[in-house]
Copies of this chain bind each other. A is one copy, B any other.
Amino acid sequence: MQALVYHGPNNKAWEEKPKPVLQQPTDVIVKITKTTICGTDLHILKGDVPEVVDGRILGHEGVGIVDAIGSAVTNFKQGDHVIISCISSCGKCDYCKRGMYSHCENGGWILGHLIDGTQAEYVRIPFADNSLYHIPEGSDEEALVMLSDILPTGFECGVLNGKVQPGNTVAIVGAGPIGLAALLTAQFYAPAEIIMIDPDDNRLAVAKKFGATQVINNGRENAIDKINALTNKRGVDTAIEAVGIPATFELCQSIIGAGGTIANVGVHGKSVTLHLEALWAKNITITTRLVDTVTTPMLLKTIQSKKLDAKQLITHHFKLSDIISAYDTFQNGAREKALKVILINE
């Protein structure tokens, strides 16, 4: 089969690889129908994730059709249409039993990382009964690719951890795909205000369209002053960090109100300064989380019932065999006005 293969920093190729085979009784082989590219794939390509070795097939998102099942798999059968979760969950370690699939002792984030991934014609999914989800008949499968990673990430790490509540004021720092996923799913809880902060006017325009009640271009506006004006100097109830650099985490600390929550979603490569000299008495909560995908079934229901229009996140389409071009578009997201790109395996 053909697959997108990592060959060390800044080096990738669409090339022939052996079709994966069942290794464990709990495995399933999925024929990919649609996949996508994640910001994390770009990190890997820069060489920032040294666990990814030369020869690894990238990708941890996608939908497809069950091609073969292991002997202990009971939830799926050949021909089933499935969503692939970016997190593999064994369903039987302590962490899985606590709903912390991200820290599964036998799985976690392994696809396109420690084992071959989904940017390929076929992929092997370990612990399939706990790591795949049925696609209801008649669904728009493309939209469901957003359930592999981006929607549960924005929702679990940003919205749930951030304790978004009806009537509250929420700020989301970063209007990239993840920040927008948080924006879409924050609206499940009817906050009074969702303030989107980003230096890219195009992304802010998208945010407005997606439901932001206020936008701040922190390239040319003072976000702290503006938030103070919007909140009577009280600060926001929830600040969601969706960038992953010290400056944006710093901003979250400056705008959080007493009793509020800073929910970190961004992938950070450096430590940050925490202003405990100011925050120790402010009754705040800071959370971090690698997505557990424990809310995938629930998010699927919100898509099915049209409470969530996941498809809005998709801006571009490519043939899977054109994945090199797709990477180029996604890497230049600002220039290309790209959010999520769909790769179609025909």
Contact = CB atoms under 8 A, between A and B. Distances in A.
A304 B192 contact: yes
Contact of A287 (B165, B285, B297): B285
A249 interface: yes
Interface stretch (A55-63, A88-96, A201-209, A330-338): A88-96
Chain A interface, >50% SS class: loop
A165 B160 CA distance: 12
Interface in A200-249: 213, 244, 249
A90 B94 CA distance: 15
B271 A302 contact: no
Interface stretch (A29-37, A139-147, A275-283, A312-320): A275-283
Contact of A167 (B96, B165, B266, B305): B305
Q: Number of contact residues on A: which range applies?
A: 35 or more
Nearest to A299: B167
B281 A102 contact: yes
Contacts of A287: 284-286
A201 to B, nearest CB: 24
A247 B100 CA distance: 29
A18 B269 CA distance: 59
Contact of A283 (B90, B102, B187, B190): B102
B259 A190 contact: no
Contacts of A281: 102, 267, 288-290
Interface string A182-203: 0000011110110000000000
A92 B279 contact: no
